[in-house]
Amino acid sequence: MKTRKCKVLVIGAGPGGYVAAIRSSQLGLDTVIVEGERAGGTCLIRGCIPSKAMIHAAHKFHDLAAHAKKGGHMGISIPGPAELEMAALKGWKDDIVDRLNKGVEHLLKSSGAELITGWAEFKDAKTVTVGNLQIEAEFVILANGSVPIELPFMKYGDGVISSREALDIDKKIEHLVVVGGGYIGLELGIVHRMLGAQVTVVEAMDSVLPIFDKELRRPLELFLKKNKVKVHTGVFAKGVEKMKNGKLKLNFIDKNSKEDSDMQSVEADMVLVTVGRRPRSEGLATTGIALDESGFVKVNEQCQTNMKGVYAIGDLTNMGEMLAHVASFQGEMVAEIIAGKNRIYNPVAVPAIVFTEPEIVSVGMSPEEAKDAGHPVLVGKFPLAANGRSLTQEAERTGGFVRVVAREDDHRILGIQAVGTHVSELVGEWTLALEMGALLEDIAGTIHAHPTMTEMTHEAVLATLGHAIHIA
């Protein structure tokens, strides 16, 4: 067996791992990164990027359908209905993924990091084998990521799929049932609805997207109703049966019911299970690294594990949300810590985005969270319907708005949320405002370009101060 010694060994080339490897190499550290599948990880290969490509394609198809209606739309009409070829759509999506995968590989190579493809098996916390190669490192960064949770009574296969398989569907489906009304299930469910499939959502909680407050959820719930996405809340999925006609039958029951006779069912071509993700921490038993009861690696504010010189970042850890941008931030931070810089993970704000239609964005505290934390609260809102750029993009049709939460006494901004088409692109300014401790007056005194949707941030702040210009 060959042996490769290095300063830094990164396990996993997802958005946390490859950023950690690139930054380590930039800092002059001999770095090896091991990836079992393709560089880019869940986000790039089978998550964020391909799902956003599918979302964009679904919007295009949906818009073309509007132009094909009698009389057309916007003065534009096409002679007949748009046609969908799922295999071609999948090919277009895969081409984007391939380009980005090659881009990550190029960035790793250019930085000087060595990418090794294969599954790492740990001999101890700082020694792994990959095939016939043994790698020994002074420092290790675990970026193993996460995988979809599989329900024990509804195993994947035979038409029961995870988000991974949902992004590789290459044929039209008539009816998709989604188990789980969180952001992954709703994003993918809305994609297939806009592509023409019937969609039914089954959710155990009393509402979809329960992490967001009712005011933010309302426009999305109206969209689901208007577009005939059937939503069952407060129910438990109980299992899937294969029917003689080749369809699947999902059985579910009200969570408060105790009688099997109350069981309901729905037929589908496929059942998409999106009930969460779990850390990919199996295989760490030989390392001595401490895990919590849910399988997450325990880390401190510097992402250090209980083993000296071993760090863990991203979805694998109990530090922060399961978000690609969190993993990337932590990967860069850990590389700099290993190089001797003094850093800790203590962000003021982490943006969260749901790419449904309409999109939902949140950074910082909601009004209720701010009140619960003891802050005297000011709240201001501005509707998309009063913004010129929103109107020119038809973004106002979903009834969205931007909402600002601030302290009443010193006007420090505590949080900003929005719901509506295209609002995800506004979140950078909001996150920066919270990180810099901005006051309402800081944004009110900043000239925002016209006509843009960013003007809504300015107007929402003015509304919070009591003198918005473009709403009465």
Give the type of residue at 269: D
Cα–Cα nearest to 412, from 379, 434, 445: 434
Task: Let me know: does 349 contact 434? Beta carbons within 8 Å.
Answer: yes
> Count of CB atoms within 10 A of residue 153's CB?
9
CA distance between the termini of the chain: 75
CA 318 from chain center: how many Å? Answer: 17
Among candidate residues 175, 450, 458, 470, the one labeled active-site is 450
d(CA 12, CA 33) in angstroms, rounded, equals 7
Across 17-75, where does the E strand assignment appear?
31-35
Annotation marks residue 62 as catalytic:
no
According to DSSP, the residues that pair with 200 across neighbouring strands are: 177, 230
d(CA 337, CA 390) in angstroms, rounded, equals 43
Task: Let me know: does 397 contact 461? Beta carbons within 8 Å.
Answer: no
d(CA 401, CA 163) in angstroms, rounded, equals 29
d(CA 429, CA 435) in angstroms, rounded, equals 10
For the annotated catalytic residues, the residue numbers are: 450
